[in-house]
Chain A
Amino acid sequence: MATSVSSRAGSDEQAVSAAPVSPTGPRARLRSSGPMLAFIGRRILSSAIVLLGATFIVYMLLAIALDPLEDLYTSSAPNKEQLIQQRIDALDLDTPAPLRYLSWLGGAAQCIPAAVGIGTCDLGTSWVTNQPVTAMLSTAIPSTLTLITMSTFTAIALGITVGIASALRQYTGFDYGVTFMSFVLYSLPSFWVAVLLKLWGAIGFNDFLADPRISPPAIAGLALLGGLIWQAIVGGAAQRRAVVFGVSALATAAMLFFISASGWLLDPSLGIVVITVLGVAIAFGVTAVAAGLRNRRALYSALTAVALGAALYYPLQYLFYYAASGPMMIGLGLVAIASGVLIGWLWGGPDRGQSMRAAAITALFVAALTFVDRLMGVWQVYSSSSRIAGRPIATIGSQTPGLSGDFWVETMDTYTHLILPTIALILISFASYTRYSRASLLEVMNQDYIRTARAKGLPERIVTVRHAFRNALIPLATIVPLDIANLFGGAIITERIFAWSGMGTLFLRGLNDKDADPVMGYFIVVGTALVVANILVDFIYAALDPRIRVNA
């Protein structure tokens, strides 16, 4: 149900304290900090009251809905009365619920000083497991974040890219196709997709891996499909489309044939050659978007970054073998970006910034390819290990119990567990991002300043990237924080289907066990995140769009 959540949080014309509604009243531009501070102060205060009210509502609803004594009423224990009395005493059920809320609130209020290290946070205790809620949350939040971070960022990146492409090709076959697709994805029930992926996709793929040969009709079908998609994306005159269709269909067919014939799926790898070729393609692509291919220095900087990456391929394999860890991988990514920036700077020229940007992005891509290549190297070892037994795509949990291996095997294990829930989550939120970014870019492309930019003879790349794209991102910037806040809530349904023990599981278990405190703990985390995101959205909007004024 990610769709409905995000549409609820996103479709409103954002908490419009920023919109100039009333013609009266003192106003100030954002630039002077006094009114802004007053605005933020007021906003935080009103949000705190809103959150307080919401916790009260949820607490009262839970007090009415959940009866912790339910299992005891039907129990046949001889000391039933005594057990009931014990539990009433333990949970303080004789006190009216509003008073219990106050004592809960007293504990929760200690979380504010606890955040800066004074005192301890007390969100109550689960009476079923006798665990403090704070402890439950501290294991659930990281688990949920690993599950959802990747899917959210992928969905944002993919959704915006596809939405922009679709807007730039408005009313073409590609646009209609994307629109239809996003409607279908929007209408998919998340639980159905997840169960389908788990029981049909994963099991089917694992069966397929036992004998990974693609039949010729399947190759032909996929090649035709690939050709159709590519010619729709590239567009243009009929002849150009035909050429693109032919070339891409042939390339797809050749690739699939190679994958099928060589058993690539059983022991995949990229190798230095493929990385270099892909790297050069990426260098051209990144330069074309970020600086324009006319900017030779930028192109050479990006190509230099690729060359450096290729040169470091073999030395890096030693490093990967002897010392590999998560932080080191992140460090290497940062080093890649830094060296890209340095390369761009060294190439110099009047417009260093563009070269640095192009080289840095290219370097990051090449580094990622190198990482993926190394990870692929462990695939065969992983999938043939005794615990996995040739069925690598996992459907349950976050790791294979009892699997031992080095950093790469463990990383692979994490990824095979992440892939299905990630796909399920992407499929759902991808659609709304596509719709938003398409609508937003079309709106901007209709503005007068775009016509001006074209009229004064700017190349279309600059009009699109610099004038249109940046402004189209402003409304999106107001959706993303809300979506990220929803991350903390976890995907209740996806977590349940893939047996992932995060926030969603915490909530469902609390509700099923008639255990109110964990549910309240869940809500306080999600509610706070949402409220903070809402304040952030107002602030971002006012900061990005100078037309927005702040009512002080």
Chain B
Amino acid sequence: MTTPTPKVPEHGGTVTEENVENAIELKEVEGLSQGRIVFRRFIRHRGAMTAAVVLVGIVLLATTSIGWGPIPGWWDYTYRQQLPIAQAGGAPTMGFDGGFTIGEHPFGQDNIGKDVFALVMRGTQQSLLVMTIIGLVASAIGIVMGAIAGYFRGRIDNLLMRFTDMVITLPIIMIGAILGVLVGGANPITLALALSLVTWTSMARLVRGEFLSLREREFVDAARVAGASSTRIMFKHMLPNAVGVIIVNTTLLMASAILLETALSYLGFGITAPDVSLGNLINEYQTAFATRPWLFWWPGLFIVTIALCVNFIGDGLRDAFDPRQRRIPSQRKMAKG
């Protein structure tokens, strides 16, 4: 269903949205670049925009509050300090006490007086860092693998794809845990790089598929006739045409990366004490669930929110890049129309 048939006018509340989409299509004629068109479509995707705003908010909160590396933040405590317990049992001070109040320890304190807000912010920083590195590095590996396999085909393709199959055969949690033991935890950057070595496979397969079809197109022939080298054709001519698939898959990869990192940290093979990650916070505090539930809820909520936002952004990007996904008039509507 790739032929752009004229849109069937629909009934009820969808009319305006149809017009909006038509308007976007018309803008295409106005001479906007591909990037602008995609950007406009993305902006109009309500769920994805909300998710993007929330995610930016979380990133800002996590980086500015307790600071990043040597740069100090505006929050009074660090995640290592042991403070006097402010409320009974270290309960959260945030709440509605004649108007919304933040208080001294909005997320509460743990049993030895550490500020949970600072801990969660530190964990969020680490998890976001690991997520970003895995997303970028694993995508890069996958793109190069897939591009070479799809462009050169034949024996190289066969070899690379069998290698990809081999990596896919390794169950992700198993190999992640083994790599976690290997790099010895603690340093999130090393951990992320190690995990990137096993999470690139789906990207490689997707890019290979794209390249297999792209290399049959005329512009590739034109470039070759003009004397462009293979590298130039692959990365200057073909790669920009596969960018939609790549970006969407990168976001999805990031969403699963944060779940992988937190799960490994939970099992004790990811980021380990004394450093802090959202996963190992949950592991450390799960036994205190009955007495101090806030120790358990906050890190979990942050993981869910981040993963959800990234997934929604990926969904919005998919819709923005793939205008072929149109509304299908339902049988009832067709009967009415």
Contact = CB atoms under 8 A, between A and B. Distances in A.
Contacts of A224: none
Contacts of A489: 171, 174
Contacts, number: 172
Given A12-B205, A61-B182, A507 B174 contact: yes
Contact of B174 (A4, A21, A492, A531): A492
A65 B181 contact: yes
Question: What is the interface of chain B mostly: helix, strand, loop, or mixed?
Answer: helix
Interface stretch (A47-55, A73-81, A122-130, A147-155): A47-55
Nearest to A169: B330
Contacts of A454: 331, 334
A445 interface: yes
A522 interface: yes
A423 to B, nearest CB: 17
B266 A5 contact: no
A183 B171 contact: no
Interface stretch (B27-35, B61-69, B87-95, B253-261): B253-261
A1 B174 contact: no
Interface of B: 1, 14, 153, 162-163, 165-175, 177-179, 181-182, 199, 201-202, 205-206, 209, 212, 252, 255-256, 259-260, 262-263, 266-267, 269, 279, 282-283, 286, 289-290, 293, 296, 300, 303-304, 307-308, 311-312, 315, 327-328, 330-331, 334
B181 A446 contact: no
Question: What is the interface of chain A mostly: helix, strand, loop, or mixed?
Answer: helix
A267 interface: no
Contact of A61 (B173, B178, B259, B327): B178
Interface of A: 1, 3-5, 7-9, 11-13, 15-16, 21-22, 46-47, 49-51, 53-54, 57-58, 61-62, 64-66, 168-171, 183-184, 186-192, 195-196, 199-200, 203, 442, 445-446, 454, 460, 463, 486, 489, 492-493, 496, 507-508, 511, 519, 522-523, 526-527, 530-531, 534
Nearest to B154: A22
Question: 3 smallest A-B Cβ distances: which pairs?
Answer: A187-B307, A4-B256, A65-B182
B315 A191 contact: no
B263 A191 contact: yes
A523 B171 CA distance: 8
Given A1-B263, A187-B307, A199 B286 contact: yes
17 contacts: A1-B172, A4-B259, A5-B171, A7-B252, A8-B172, A12-B168, A12-B202, A54-B170, A61-B175, A64-B182, A183-B312, A187-B311, A191-B282, A195-B289, A492-B174, A493-B266, A519-B178
B169 A51 contact: yes
Contact of A8 (B178, B201, B286): B201
Contacts of B162: 46, 49-50, 53
